[in-house]
Amino acid sequence: MSRLQKIFAQQKPILNVYCTAGFPHPESTMDVMLSLQEFGADMIELGIPYSDPLADGPVIQESNATAIKNGMSIQKLFVDIKTFREKIHLPVILMGYLNPVLQYGFEK
């Protein structure tokens, strides 16, 4: 059973917290996720930064712009995810737009 399936199998309210990967700096993503895990989040929705997040509000738009400006990319995120799994035991859901995934390539 996956981590996500285990959370939903509990049939109780959960705290799902969103954060943008690479905000405020690419190297801070792990610390943010560890803090969320430590302080009671049940799962993490990790945003993939995108340069044109029109469907999001101003806060997420700004966090995307800052993350990209500071060097976060989908390539870096996918490398970092392997490291995250060593310490993050919560389900992590990636949230983002299709364009960066298409640019990265489904085959990767």
Q: Is 107 a catalytic residue?
A: no
Low-confidence ranges of the chain (pLDDT < 50): none
- Active-site annotation holder among 42, 56, 80, 86: 56
Of 44, 41, 102, 47, give the one whose Cα is nearest residue 72: 47
Q: Is 45 a catalytic residue?
A: yes
This prediction's pTM: 0.89
Of 84, 80, 90, give the one whose Cα is nearest residue 17: 90
* Tens-place pLDDT, residues 81-108: 989 989 999 999 999 999 888 888 877 7
